[in-house]
Homo-oligomer: A and B are copies of this chain.
Amino acid sequence: MASERVVRKAAPTLEEVATAAGVSRSTASRVINGSPQVSDAVVASVNAAISALNYQPNRAARSLANRQTMAIALVVPEETTRFFGDPYFASVVQGIYRGLEDSDYVLNLQLSAPVSPSPKTIRYLLGGNVDGALVVSQHSGDHFLSTLSDALPVVFNGRPLGAGGGHNYFVDVDNRSAAVKGTQHLIDLGRKRIATIAGPIDMTAGIDRRNGWASALTSAHLPTDRIAYGDFSLTGGADAMRRILEEWPDTDAVFVASDLMALGAMTVLRERGLKVPADVAIIGFDDSPAATTGDVKLTTVSQPSNEMGYTMAQMLLQLLRGEDPERECIMETSIIVRDSA
């Protein structure tokens, strides 16, 4: 049995608005698009007609005529579970959403594996289905994304790596010096055997933070061999911590490249009966909600993730308007001292 179909009255068209306002379609269109050269009286009557009829422009017709899709792709080249598992992304996406709120653009979600987008996503991105793209997180193996901006306005979250990396728009923090600051905090605490749980080396955030850590240690004439890599996840952090304790059981502090990994690391420390910060001081990175979630509140390097998302959106909007924003926007970080270090 077929489902009963509600007969919906057809949505009002520009034509009807124009008639109701006693003007031509062209003029009605002009007031809708905010053209300056319309008399105030006409603007008023068209607007009256619009709200009387509850008119909403037809997206498809508009797109066809002016060749804008009014859609933006949110590209997530990341395991879905990781994307959703990390409060950092929550914050960035919320910022993006906020940045787009006053615009007429909609956000098309494009999930894809960490390696490279699916053929469907690629076709979609290249097929003129969106006016621009926002890329959250990026791995160096992904050659497609690094050249995407040849085809489309694109803004990255984090400095892109690889081929076309040099001429891409992005918002980021100075990961290296942020890591130096964070590590310095541990040094100032008098710690001598400072390890790091680094992020993936196919991401600039992973590399730069590790280098910052090493640089701070070197300046303090401390060794830089205590290093383990994680994938920015909780369990990745735990695994890395286990490896560190196995190889260097006397480690007395660790600079961890993300709060989530720091949380994982603290789990392991607790298992082993090691106290934080007494036995091992921990400093995280992000200052995401994860930082204050456990029993021991995390000292961390704070980055303005929500603002970063917001700024990404704003930059893309500028590009779409034909403006020419700075290629890179580097935002401030700061150390938030809590319990763990």
Chain A positions near chain B (C-beta within 8 angstroms): 1-3, 6, 8, 11, 56, 58-61, 63-64, 69, 71, 74, 80-81, 83-87, 89-91, 93-94, 97, 101, 106-109, 111, 118, 120, 123-124, 127-129, 150-151, 234-235, 267, 270-271, 289, 293-295, 319, 322, 324
29 contacts between A and B (CB under 8 A): A1-B324, A2-B322, A3-B322, A6-B150, A11-B127, A56-B123, A58-B64, A59-B60, A59-B69, A60-B63, A61-B64, A80-B93, A80-B94, A80-B97, A81-B87, A81-B90, A81-B289, A84-B86, A84-B90, A84-B93, A85-B90, A93-B111, A97-B109, A106-B108, A106-B129, A107-B108, A109-B109, A234-B293, A270-B295
CB of A304, distance to nearest CB on chain B (Å):
15
CB of A36, distance to nearest CB on chain B (Å):
22
Task: State A11–B319 Cα separation when bound (angstroms).
Answer: 21
Q: Using Cβ atoms and an 8 Å threshold, which residues of chain B touch A97?
A: 80, 109, 111
Choose one: B60, B74, B91, B267; the contact of A60 (CB below 8 Å).
B60
Q: Using Cβ atoms and an 8 Å threshold, which residues of chain B touch A151?
A: 8
Task: State A120–B324 Cα separation when bound (angstroms).
Answer: 28
- Identify 7 new A-B residue pairs, CB closer than 8 A, beyond the known A84-B84, A101-B120, A106-B124: A3-B322, A8-B151, A59-B60, A60-B61, A107-B108, A267-B295, A271-B295
Does the CB pair B123–A85 fall under 8 Å? no
Task: State A85–B87 Cα separation when bound (angstroms).
Answer: 6
Does the CB pair A94–B111 fall under 8 Å? yes
Contacts A80-B93, A80-B97, A84-B87 hold; do A11 and B128 have CB atoms under 8 A apart? yes
Q: Using Cβ atoms and an 8 Å threshold, which residues of chain B touch A293?
A: 234-235
Task: State A323–B271 Cα separation when bound (angstroms).
Answer: 55
Does the CB pair B85–A80 fall under 8 Å? no
Does the CB pair A74–B109 fall under 8 Å? yes
